[in-house]
């Protein structure tokens, strides 16, 4: 366990969510926060319904997962309806009691000093967990830093429901021992207006002080003068071939799930209008939002005569082999080989894929979703923008970037240095360090973070 000589005690933090596994935004950002906590002298532990962390620091509770059958049943009876049956209320409280008992055991087992709910008090996919966690925090007064990635009022399908009393109580709760963190200024404004809660804004970050390895057609834009890039391994040398991209074709990467708000039609239209030999590669599957939109994307690709590849079967969070013997790549293996990244989302809580494209020094096409316009664009990034639809100007600029190595290098180098200033681990460490110090009262921890 981590030990702080300044206050003569161990420091343990418990992260709580429905899932800590895979490459979803919550899991990825939790890893980054955990690295800051560890540097600050904490040992990190995890409570969730699915966990891919070491067993010695994990507390697995299956009913904490939003896909557990009992939780799915509650969800289906609470949303899309104006009233719920009495049995649903009874089920919510039975599940809440079970999860609450498990949370207390989690706290006691690992002797926790601080709780960090990760989106468990914002998106009501697991209503009993949110209620249980709220009651535990209220009863114990435990210092809590609640990390809110997005809120239920940002999703239309949550607005018709039969559980307003629970949403107002626990998503999120207004308790004196909770310090609230949001990832953008719009969320900060809405949280304050709707609940009276004040929050700290901590954006999503990447480790821009540690540049990625050079591979493929990757630009060394991350480097300071005189620095040498870290060498790339050979595992991903044949990425383009394995993705079905010929040597004379462009690899245009859409690094998202196939869900409606990602606006993938815009990427398809752009590729069509470029008039250049190219393949559009979509990295992730549809996930838990159904497959109707994926069918739409496939049909639209055929209509626009665009080669669109769905490659979620060979992209995962870890390298390996499929059952058929094909190589499995990580998304980090793919980025350096992309000629262009498309990110035409209609809505994002922040935009991890934007930072990833910048980190791997790829030119990017961005739809001007609200958080990009309000929080990211003012930092001065150089990107290809569309505003709800693909314009002739966007097509012209994209062609210019793709055919001019000098312009492309200048663009991605500028973007990397800008992101390093505003979205690095150093920014996270400073902002989160202040909150850690407030929770523990130990300034030594603040200095270490």
Give the model's pLDDT for residue 442: 62
CA distances from 302 to 201, 272, 309 (A): 42, 11, 12
Give the model's pLDDT for residue 249: 94
- What is the set of domains in the chain, with CATH numbers? 3-205+425-448 (3.40.50.2000), 239-422 (3.40.50.2000)
> Can you tell me the distance from the alpha carbon of 317 to that of 22, in angstroms, rounded to the nearest whole number?
6
Q: Assign 3-class secondary structure to the chain.
A: CCEECCCCEEEEEEEECCCECCCCHHHHHHHHHHHHHHHCCEEEEEEECCECCCHHHEEECHHHCCCCHHHHHHHHHHECCCCCCHHHHHHHHHHHHHHHHHHHHHHHHCCCCEEEEECCCCCCCCHHHHHHHHHHHHHHCCCEEEEECCCHHHCHHHCCECCHHHHHHHCCCCCCCEEEEECCHHHHHHHHHHHCCCEEECCCCCCCCCCCCECCCCCCCCCCCCCCCCECCCCCCCHHHHCCCCCCCEEEEECCCCCHHHCHHHHHHHHHHHCCCEEEEECCCCHHHCCHHHHHHHHHHHHCCCCEEECHHHECCCCEECCCCCEEECHHHHHHHCCEEEECCCCCCCCHHHHHHHHCCCCEEEECCHHHHHHHHHHCCCCEEECCCCCHHHHHHHHHHHHCHHHHHHHHHHHHHHHHHHCCHHHHHHHHHHHHHHHHCCHHHHHHC
Yes or no: say if 103 and 131 are a contact pair by the CB < 8 Å rule: no
Give the model's pLDDT for residue 237: 86
- Cβ atoms within 10 Å of 170's Cβ, excluding its own: 26
> Can you tell me the distance from the alpha carbon of 72 to that of 51, in angstroms, rounded to the nearest whole number?
19
Q: What is the pLDDT along the chain (449 residues), one digit of tens a residue?
A: 455 545 556 789 999 999 999 778 889 899 999 999 998 889 999 999 999 999 999 999 999 999 999 999 999 999 999 999 999 999 999 999 999 999 999 999 999 999 999 999 999 999 999 999 999 999 999 999 999 999 999 988 899 999 999 999 999 999 999 999 999 999 999 999 999 999 999 999 999 988 887 644 445 555 444 444 455 678 888 899 999 899 899 999 999 989 999 999 999 999 999 999 999 999 988 766 668 999 999 999 999 999 999 999 998 888 999 998 999 999 999 999 999 999 999 988 888 899 999 999 999 999 999 999 999 999 999 999 999 999 999 999 999 999 999 999 999 999 999 999 999 999 999 999 889 888 777 655 555 55
Chain position carrying tokens 């560890």: 38
> pTM of the prediction?
0.86
CA distances from 212 to 278, 333, 347, 360 (A): 25, 10, 28, 7
Give the model's pLDDT for residue 5: 45
> Can you tell me the distance from the alpha carbon of 82 to that of 99, in angstroms, rounded to the nearest whole number?
26
> Can you tell me the distance from the alpha carbon of 284 to that of 228, in angstroms, rounded to the nearest whole number?
33
């Amino acid at each position: 366990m981590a030990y702080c000589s300044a206050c003569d005690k161990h420091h343990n933090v418990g992260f709580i969510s429905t899932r800590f596994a895979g490459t979803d935004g919550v899991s990825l950002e939790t890893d980054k926060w955990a690295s800051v906590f560890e540097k600050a002298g904490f040992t990190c532990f995890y409570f969730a319904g699915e966990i891919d962390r070491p067993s010695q620091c994990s507390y697995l509770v299956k009913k904490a997962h939003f896909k557990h059958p009992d939780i799915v049943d509650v969800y289906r009876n609470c949303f899309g309806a104006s009233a719920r049956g009495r049995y649903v209320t009874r089920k919510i409280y039975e599940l809440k009691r079970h999860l609450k008992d498990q949370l207390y055991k989690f706290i006691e087992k690992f002797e926790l000093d601080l709780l960090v709910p990760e989106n468990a008090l914002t998106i009501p996919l697991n209503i009993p967990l949110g209620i249980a966690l709220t009651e535990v925090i209220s009863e114990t007064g435990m210092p809590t830093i609640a990390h809110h990635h997005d809120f239920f009022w940002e999703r239309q399908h949550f607005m018709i429901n039969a559980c307003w009393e629970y949403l107002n109580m626990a998503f999120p709760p207004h308790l004196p021992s909770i310090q609230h963190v949001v990832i953008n200024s719009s969320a900060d404004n809405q949280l304050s207006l709707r609940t009276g809660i004040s929050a700290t804004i901590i954006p999503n970050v990447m480790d821009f002080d540690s540049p990625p390895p050079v591979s493929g057609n990757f630009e060394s834009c991350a480097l300071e003068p005189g620095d040498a890039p870290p060498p790339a391994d050979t595992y991903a040398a044949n990425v383009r071939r394995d993705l079905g991209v010929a040597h004379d074709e462009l690899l245009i990467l859409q690094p998202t799930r196939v869900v409606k708000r990602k606006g993938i039609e815009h990427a398809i239209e752009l590729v069509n209008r470029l008039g250049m030999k190219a393949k559009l590669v979509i990295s992730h599957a549809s996930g838990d939002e159904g497959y109707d939109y994926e069918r739409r994307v496939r049909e639209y690709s055929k209509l626009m005569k665009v080669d669109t590849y769905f490659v979620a079967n060979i992209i995962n969070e870890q390298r390996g082999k499929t059952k058929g013997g094909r190589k499995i790549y990580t998304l980090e293996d793919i980025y350096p080989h992309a000629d262009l990244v498309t990110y035409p989302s209609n809505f994002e809580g922040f935009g991890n894929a934007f930072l990833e494209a910048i980190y791997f020094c790829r030119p990017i096409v961005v739809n001007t979703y609200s958080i990009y316009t309000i929080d990211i664009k003012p930092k001065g990034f150089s990107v290809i923008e569309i505003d709800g639809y693909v314009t002739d100007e966007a097509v012209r600029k994209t062609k210019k970037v793709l055919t001019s190595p000098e312009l492309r290098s200048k663009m991605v180098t500028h973007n990397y240095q800008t992101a390093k200033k505003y979205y690095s681990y150093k920014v996270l460490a400073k902002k989160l360090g202040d909150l850690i110090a407030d929770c523990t009262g130990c300034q030594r921890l603040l200095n270490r973070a």
